Amino acid sequence: MKEDFNLDYKASVVNSGNQVRLKNVFRRAQNGEKLSLGFIGGSITQGCLATRPEYCYAYRVYEWWCKTFPNVEFNYINAGIGATDSQFGCARVYSDLLKWKPDFVIIEFSVNDLDNSHFMETYEGLVRKVYYHENRPAVLLVHNVYYEDGSNAQKVHAQIGKYYELPCISMQNSIYAEIQTGRLKKQDITQDGLHPNDYGHKMVASVITNYLQSVLTDIDILEPEPKFSYKKPFTLNAYENSVRYQNDSIQPVLKCFTPDVELQEAITDIFKKGWKATEKGASVFFEVEGNCIGIQYRKTMKLPAPVAELILDGDEAHPFRLDANFDETWGDKMVLETVLEHGENKKHTVEIRLTETHKEDKLPFYLVSVIASNGKEQ
C-alpha cells in the first residue's frame, strides 16, 4: 500500500457546479475572516472505524482549510450520526448544524439513502434547507460508496446536485474505480466493505480537498452566481419542512409510557428525550400536522425485545408493526419508519401501543421521536 496512491481526481467530479459561493468563502478566508465549516451525514462523516476523531475525512478536510489559510480561525462542526439518512437529516439539520451558521457545508448521505424516488425527495429537502439558509453557505455534495459492491444513491443524489448547480464529488468514480481495476485492494482501505479505515478516510479527504484546491487555483475566474430565489422543487419536496417532536417539545397522552429525562450528552447520544414502556397495553397518543409522518424507535440486539403497533388516524384495520428486535450484532439502531407519505396535509392522530412483551426483555420499548413534514410548495 502506497501513501502516495494516485487517484483519478478528475473522474471524481460528477458535477463541478457553480463555484461562486465557494470562491466567496475562499476570498473571505484570504481576508482573515473567522469561518465555520459544517459536515452532515452518516457514520462515515461521524468517523466510524477511524482510530481517532482527527483521522476521519471530515476533520482532515477541516485541517486542509487550516493549513491553506493559517491565519484564519475556523469552527469545525461535525453533525454526522451513524445509521441515519437524509429524511432524518431534514428534521435535525437546523438544531445540529445550521444554528451555528456554517459558511461551508458538506452533505454526505449517499450510502445511507437508497437509490429511489423517496430518498431523492428527502435529499432534496435537506439540500434546499441548507442551500437556502439565511447564511447562504457554499454547499458540496459528497457521494460515498459501498466498497463491497459499488452501490450508493449517487444516481438520484447527483440529479439534485445538478439541478441546484452544486458540486458533486464521487468516491464511486474515483476510489471504488481503482478497486475495480485491481490497482487498489479493498482491504487496504476498509475492513467491513463500507467504512473507511484511517487510510481510507485519508483517501476520501484527498478526493475532496483536490477539488477544493482546484477551485482555489481558479479563484480569479469569475462566473455569475445563480439568482438567489427559491427554485421550483425538482421532486414533490414534502420533506423540506420537517419538525421533530420529542418530550421537550410535545406532550402526548401517556398510558404507562414515561418520558426519558436523562441529559443528552451529544447529538450522537441518540436514545434520549423520548418515551419508554415495558408493560403490554401501554400506549402513547399524539396529534401532529403534516402530509408525511415518520416514527423513530429503537431496535435492540439485546433479545428478546418488545413489539408495538401504530394506529394512524384511528385505522385499526391497518396497524403498523414496530418490532424492537434487531437481527444485527453491531449495536442498537434508531429506526425511522415512514407511516404516511404524501397524505392529506392536516392534523393526524398517531397512537402507539405495546402488543408484545416478555419477562426476559432486557430493555424497554423506546420511542425516540415523531417527525411530521409539512409539504407546502415553496
For the chain, residues classed under CATH 2.60.120.260 are 242-373
Q: Which CATH superfamily is 242-373 part of?
A: Galactose-binding domain-like (2.60.120.260)
Neighbouring residues of 24: CB distance < 8 A, sequence distance ≥ 6: 138
| Bridge partners of residue 302, in order along the sequence | none
What nine digits make up the cell of 167? 458540486
Residue 304: is the preceding peptide bond cis (ω within 30°)?
yes
pLDDT digits (tens, 9 = 90+) for 115-156: 999 999 999 999 999 999 999 999 999 999 999 999 999 999
Q: How far is CA 204 from CA 66, 197, 201, 343, 346, in A?
A: 18, 10, 5, 40, 43
How far from 191 is each of 20, 33, 49, 202, 351, CA to CA, in Å?
38, 40, 9, 15, 42
Task: Report pLDDT digits (tens) over 315-374.
Answer: 999 999 999 999 999 999 999 999 999 999 999 999 999 999 999 999 999 999 999 998
Q: Is 199 helix (H, G, I), strand (E, B) or coil?
A: helix
Return contacts of 252-260, CB within 8 angstroms, 24+ apart: 252/284, 252/285, 252/286, 253/284, 253/285, 254/283, 254/284, 254/285, 255/281, 255/282, 255/283, 255/284, 256/281, 256/282, 256/283, 257/282, 257/283, 257/284, 257/367, 260/366
Please give the radius of gyration of the chain, using alpha carbons only, rounded to the nearest integer: 22
Question: Can you give the pLDDT at residue 22?
Answer: 97
> What is the share, in percent, of the chain residues with pLDDT greater than 70?
97
Q: What is the pLDDT of residue 46?
A: 98
**Could you tell me which residues come within 8 angstroms of residue 276 by beta carbon, excluding any fewer than 6 positions away?**
257, 258, 260, 364, 365, 366, 367
- Taking 50 as the pLDDT cut, the residues of the chain under it are 1-2, 378
Domain with CATH 3.40.50.1110 in the chain: 10-217
Q: What pLDDT shows up at residue 375?
A: 74
pLDDT value at residue 120? 98
Cell 428478546, residue? 304
Residue 183: what pLDDT?
Answer: 93
Q: CATH number of 10-217: 3.60.20.30, 3.40.50.1110, 3.60.10.10, 3.40.50.300?
A: 3.40.50.1110
Q: What does the pLDDT read at residue 228?
A: 65
Going by C-alpha positions, the residue among 161, 93, 152 that lies closest to residue 124 is 161
Q: What is the pTM of this model?
A: 0.96
pLDDT of residue 222: 80
